[in-house]
Structure 1
Amino acid sequence: MPPNHNQRRAESAMVDRDTDTVGQGALIEFAAVAEWIEAATSRLAKIALLSQYFAQLQDDPLYYAVHYFAGQGFPQRERRLAPIGELTLVTALSGLSGIEPAKLNAHLKRLGDLAEVAALVLVRQSEPILTLEDVAIGLEQLAKTQGRRKLSWVIRLLEPATSVEAKYLTRLLPSGKRIGRSANVTVWIGGRRGSSSTNDLDDASLKEMVEQAEKIARLSPVDREYMPTLGRQEYKPTPGYVAATADLALETRAKAIADIISECEKNRVIGAGFHSARAQAGASATKNGNFEFERSTNVSLSMTARTPDGTSSGYFLRSHYDIARLDTKRIASEAIRKAREGVNARTVEPGQYTVVLEPQAVADLVGNLGFMFNARSAEEGRSVLSAPGGKTRLGEKMFDEKINIYSDPWHPELPGSQSAQGGIPAQKMYLVRNGVVENLIYNRFWAKQKERQPTPGPVNTILESSSRPATLEEMIRSTERGILVSRFWYIRSTDPRTASSTGLTRDGVWLIEKGKIAYPIGNLRFNQSMTQMLGPENVEMIGTPERVGSSEGGGAGASLLPALKIKVFNFTSRSEAV
């Protein structure tokens, strides 16, 4: 069982510690072992170091050390956290070091790890006095404390710490931000390929990575599809990076989540979800002189609301590269509304129905449709775009005439990557225009085989109508009898040659009768060809595209997709799941 600490010990332990009483469980020993483990290059060496260290500890110090090496301030079963915003940590480091926050943030961008910044700026000449028990006391108080008082406890923990102690203390104080750096290399030796990667970027680790790739290449068979690396290319940057998203503080997200929790309580539903923000940057270089660098941001919120009796649920997800464009209030209100309006669901028989698909449902089904247009698969007879005799359906009207599908790297709502497959500079390109298949995607190898130019794309998927967009309300009003679907899940491909998939509705399904929502219904399983769904005369109405990602992707990616009214959609069985 975890040790208990009273308030008196919490107030005094880290200010009155006698250096002679540190003994077993000194934080400096923990930090030293952590440094050795970080420097060790083999898994066995790391295990040996841990085993030797743990063997020296007993009782409480061993209990603490095990959890701290697992990156846990508390046992997982306790479900306790001591969350510290990055701003709080930077403020504490600034106060203790006398260095301005702006300079600390510059160090953070250079080093990529706030713990490394702490080790750099907190240089102590005094003897180490902290113990693992001191850390436990501090974390316990942080878990209980709210608001500005957290800062005083962070300072109390870090003030007596040596440089290396400060490094590992900072890693135990979760700021909500994780920074990772990695490198990878691919080498070719006589047409043989070898790749290796590492997240240790010191000179020795990078050298070892290259040597490992070379070793793999020498052992590999000749790659019959080898292509020389690209020479210099010209890339046009895309506008997918916003500093405010990259620097989003934990406190900002916490405020949005607190408002959502309040709305859930007010509406008597149970809410759960994920609010995540990501910034990434990457660079690549080739032996033949090409170099590329780009960065991007993404912030998303997904939320599920469920009634207390568990009989109804609602879901909503949106993401954006600009935090200012993420409407967290709308996401919460839509999820809550769907849960409240889905109670007392009735049963309907499966079969063919007219459906109105909200943008989320469309994203779940066809969010990656733009990446289906692979020329090689089509020409080898493995695709829905294949035609008899090794031909393809390029130029055919496979889709409804209102359908346009294209990729645009510089779309202001959905910036894509500046480089397409194989590092080829991206371009705006249509895959389907007015229902007609206009382009197939050739990679460099297959283009050479077919004596064609490689295709620069796609890097995102945008589906638009050739006619006036319709609203969701107009789609419902025009439906005599049909089904409104919020989202799909557990979607799996069943036959790539017909672009067929199966899956289930979830988190909000309603029957439409005589142009109005009649009542909620239970979930249904579907089996449907996506090209037949979007085929000629089957798409009755198309809405205005929205930025939306698949629910199984959790907001990591997005497309621009509209609501759709589909004339015939195949439901094959009922599902008991909520």
Structure 2
Amino acid sequence: MTQRGDINRTGAELELAVRVVELVRAAAGPAAQAEVMVQHDAEALTRFANSMIHQNVADATTTVRLRLHLDGRTAAGSTTITGADGLRGLVDRTIAAVRLSPADPTWPGLVPPTPLRPSAGYHGSGERSGLDFGFDEATARATPAERAERVRDFVRAAGGLETAGFCRTTYNSAAFANSLGHAVEGRAAEAAIDGIARLNGSDGVARQAGGRLADLDGAVLGARAAAKARAAERPVELPPGRYEVVLEPDAVADVLNNLAMFGFNGKGFAQQESFAELETDQFDPSVTIVDEPLGSRDEPAPGLPFDIEGTPRESLVLVRDGTTKAVAHDRRSAAEVGAESTGHGSEMSRTWGPMPTHMRLEASPAPSEAPTAPADRAGPTVESARPLVARMERGLLISDLWYTRVLDQKTLVVTGLTRNGVWLVENGEVTAAVSNMRFTQSYPQALGTGMVLGMGTESVLLPDRWSGVRYAAPAVHLASWNITGNASG
């Protein structure tokens, strides 16, 4: 097990980044355009299965990434060896690679010296580093015992049901420097719990992410997962067809994930492979989607305040009141369409395209006259979804989606399966558990004009399968969801 990362590293990454730029200048001359990202990633994970902790692991790695443009050619390299020999080797390898690389006529150039954008949690001048963008030091320093407390509470609240999952804390600190003199640094921390409860083959799920470990309540999540598992026993089978649905936040997170990867992807947009049409009403007026890497007034920043190209990040409105307003760009995709980078460059964006990583589907309060099922009759749904369920005459309540795959990227038709609980709703009440079903559905179409019948009152922060990505989603009431198969086929 590798030791937990050192959070007392203020300035260490920036010193490394500047040193690599100087090495490039000495070896390749003043004409070389170099950008360097130094990132220290530390993750600690407490796993549990069979209702007991079986693994505590921690890993910390510092990675130095260099991208070099010289004589009209571009090459990149990286190393985790941060001593003098490792840095010199990185520079020498990248210079050799750039001389063998093809011409790069679309090189977008380097970011000039640019101040970072202040966030709701940032109290500095906004002109240098951004080390205080709502950073929660207690989460970065979290111990195995602190994570174990959340796991213990989850297991106890499940009331004897078999449980499994994890509690995770992450810490990232990074710095960027380039040969134009642009230099920035920042740090971020995050915590997440993801767990299931199981009863006689029926599973219930509960997840939550946040910038503070102290905000995660294992007891609340364990009780929720257990309630879902108990309610999912003895499922019935329903025929395929189009159903009115309430998607709970976990299921909505999958919708946001696919919209991010294939819809609001700047490379896909530039290559006309995305459904996105700017300034077009492509969604229901109730839909507003924002990418929020700098956090909000009440939530610490979930991400670093700049991207791998050194571009400052800020909130990006992707959809406002149903109108598509923007897609995510790095410098290359932005140059291709005559736009500006939105700060979404990453080591993956050069191949897979830049995409949002901190998307929030804005919640909207339920109308005051909306019926709300009493707690004892509301079934397994989360509290903020109860008004949506109470309004449904006949349809499905879906907890979670998984194994989703894109069938058509342009229209974003996705096929996948339900899991961790599906229920039949009749006249505003949950009447039966339903076996898992396959669906084939265009996600933008499902959120189209007139198709969104209601939003939950709270956006829940949810972790993705990989650290560094998360979503905030309310429950959503949709007019139609295309179920194409059931447990029998």
- TM-score bracket, shorter-length normalisation: 0.7 to 0.9
Q: Is the aligned partner of 1:563 residue 2:460?
A: no
- 1:460 alignment counterpart: 358
- Tell me, in whole angstroms, the C-alpha distance in 2 between the residues paired with 1:575 and 1:175: 37
Task: Please point out which of 178, 189, 193 is paired with 1:301.
Answer: 193
- Tell me, in whole angstroms, the C-alpha distance in 1 between the residues paired with 2:109 and 2:467: 35
Task: Please point out which of 315, 321, 331 is paired with 1:444.
Answer: 331
| Identical positions, percent | 27
CA displacement 1:280-333 (0-9 Å, x = unmatched): 1011111111112111111111111111x3x21111111111111112111111
Q: Say how many residue pairs are matched.
A: 404
The change in CA–CA distance for 1:196 and 1:536 in structure 2 (over 3 A counts) is same
- Determine if contact 1:420/1:459 at 8 Å carries over to the other structure: no
The change in CA–CA distance for 1:436 and 1:353 in structure 2 (over 3 A counts) is same
The change in CA–CA distance for 1:106 and 1:301 in structure 2 (over 3 A counts) is closer
- Determine if contact 1:319/1:555 at 8 Å carries over to the other structure: no
- 1:396 alignment counterpart: 280
- Determine if contact 1:370/1:407 at 8 Å carries over to the other structure: no
- 1:228 alignment counterpart: 109
- Tell me, in whole angstroms, the C-alpha distance in 1 between the residues paired with 2:157 and 2:291: 38
Task: Please point out which of 239, 254, 259 is paired with 1:349.
Answer: 239
3-state SS in 2 of match to 1:251:
helix
- Tell me, in whole angstroms, the C-alpha distance in 1 between the residues paired with 2:339 and 2:117: 23
The change in CA–CA distance for 1:175 and 1:420 in structure 2 (over 3 A counts) is closer
The change in CA–CA distance for 1:261 and 1:375 in structure 2 (over 3 A counts) is closer
- Tell me, in whole angstroms, the C-alpha distance in 2 between the residues paired with 1:420 and 1:401: 31
Taking the TM superposition and a 5 Å limit, the aligned residue runs for 1:2-81 are: none
- 1:384 alignment counterpart: 275
- Determine if contact 1:302/1:555 at 8 Å carries over to the other structure: no
- Determine if contact 1:260/1:332 at 8 Å carries over to the other structure: yes
- Tell me, in whole angstroms, the C-alpha distance in 2 between the residues paired with 1:395 and 1:366: 20
- Determine if contact 2:264/2:328 at 8 Å carries over to the other structure: yes
> In the TM superposition, what is the alpha-carbon distance from 1:449 to its structure 2 partner?
4.7
CA displacement 1:134-176 (0-9 Å, x = unmatched): xxxxxxxxxxxxxxxxxxxxxxxxxxxxxxxxxxxxxxxx974
Structure 1 stretch 343-352 or stretch 235-244: which is displaced more?
235-244
3-state SS in 2 of match to 1:179:
strand
- Tell me, in whole angstroms, the C-alpha distance in 1 between the residues paired with 2:417 and 2:7: 48
Unaligned runs of 5+ in 2: 14-54, 120-132, 345-355, 371-383
Query: What amino acid sits opposite 2:286 in the alignment?
Result: K
- Tell me, in whole angstroms, the C-alpha distance in 1 between the residues paired with 2:433 and 2:413: 27
- Determine if contact 1:403/1:466 at 8 Å carries over to the other structure: no
Q: CA RMSD in A?
A: 2.9
> In the TM superposition, what is the alpha-carbon distance from 1:451 to its structure 2 partner?
4.3
Q: Return structure 1 stretches of 4+ with deviation > 6 angstroms.
A: 105-112
3-state SS in 2 of match to 1:384:
coil
- 1:205 alignment counterpart: 86
Compare CA radii of gyration and give the structure with the larger one: 1
- 2:42 alignment counterpart: none
Structure 1 stretch 403-412 or stretch 314-323: which is displaced more?
403-412
- Determine if contact 1:232/1:290 at 8 Å carries over to the other structure: yes
Taking the TM superposition and a 5 Å limit, the aligned residue runs for 1:98-113 are: none
Query: What amino acid sits opposite 1:282 in the alignment?
Result: A
Task: Please point out which of 319, 322, 325 is paired with 2:209.
Answer: 319
Select the structure that is richer in strand. Answer: 2
Q: Is the aligned partner of 1:215 residue 2:96?
A: yes
- Determine if contact 1:374/1:440 at 8 Å carries over to the other structure: yes
- Determine if contact 1:317/1:555 at 8 Å carries over to the other structure: no
CA displacement 1:352-375 (0-9 Å, x = unmatched): 000001111100222453562345
> In the TM superposition, what is the alpha-carbon distance from 1:211 to its structure 2 partner?
1.0
Taking the TM superposition and a 5 Å limit, the aligned residue runs for 1:535-550 are: 535-549=448-462
- Tell me, in whole angstroms, the C-alpha distance in 1 between the residues paired with 2:339 and 2:152: 56
- Tell me, in whole angstroms, the C-alpha distance in 2 between the residues paired with 1:110 and 1:226: 30
- Tell me, in whole angstroms, the C-alpha distance in 2 between the residues paired with 1:366 and 1:300: 18
Task: Please point out which of 153, 162, 165 is paired with 1:259.
Answer: 153
- Tell me, in whole angstroms, the C-alpha distance in 1 between the residues paired with 2:259 and 2:458: 15
The change in CA–CA distance for 1:401 and 1:340 in structure 2 (over 3 A counts) is same
- Determine if contact 1:306/1:312 at 8 Å carries over to the other structure: yes
- Determine if contact 1:370/1:405 at 8 Å carries over to the other structure: no
Query: What amino acid sits opposite 1:226 in the alignment?
Result: W
- 2:289 alignment counterpart: 405
- Determine if contact 2:154/2:221 at 8 Å carries over to the other structure: no
- Determine if contact 1:320/1:547 at 8 Å carries over to the other structure: no
Query: What amino acid sits opposite 2:305 in the alignment?
Result: Q
3-state SS in 2 of match to 1:360:
helix
Query: What amino acid sits opposite 1:273 in the alignment?
Result: G
Q: Is the aligned partner of 1:364 residue 2:270?
A: no
> In the TM superposition, what is the alpha-carbon distance from 1:420 to its structure 2 partner?
5.1
- Tell me, in whole angstroms, the C-alpha distance in 1 between the residues paired with 2:289 and 2:305: 19
Select the structure that is richer in helix. Answer: 1
Task: Please point out which of 183, 192, 197 is paired with 2:64.
Answer: 183
> In the TM superposition, what is the alpha-carbon distance from 1:261 to its structure 2 partner?
3.0
> In the TM superposition, what is the alpha-carbon distance from 1:497 to its structure 2 partner?
0.6
Unaligned runs of 5+ in 1: 1-70, 73-84, 87-104, 113-173, 386-392
Looking at both structures, which has the greater relative contact order when contacts are Cα pairs under 8 Å and sequence separation is at least 6?
2
The change in CA–CA distance for 1:446 and 1:205 in structure 2 (over 3 A counts) is closer
- Tell me, in whole angstroms, the C-alpha distance in 2 between the residues paired with 1:452 and 1:246: 36
Q: Is the aligned partner of 1:283 residue 2:196?
A: no
- 1:15 alignment counterpart: none
TM-score by length of 2: 0.75
TM-score by length of 1: 0.64
- Determine if contact 1:401/1:435 at 8 Å carries over to the other structure: yes
> In the TM superposition, what is the alpha-carbon distance from 1:271 to its structure 2 partner?
0.6
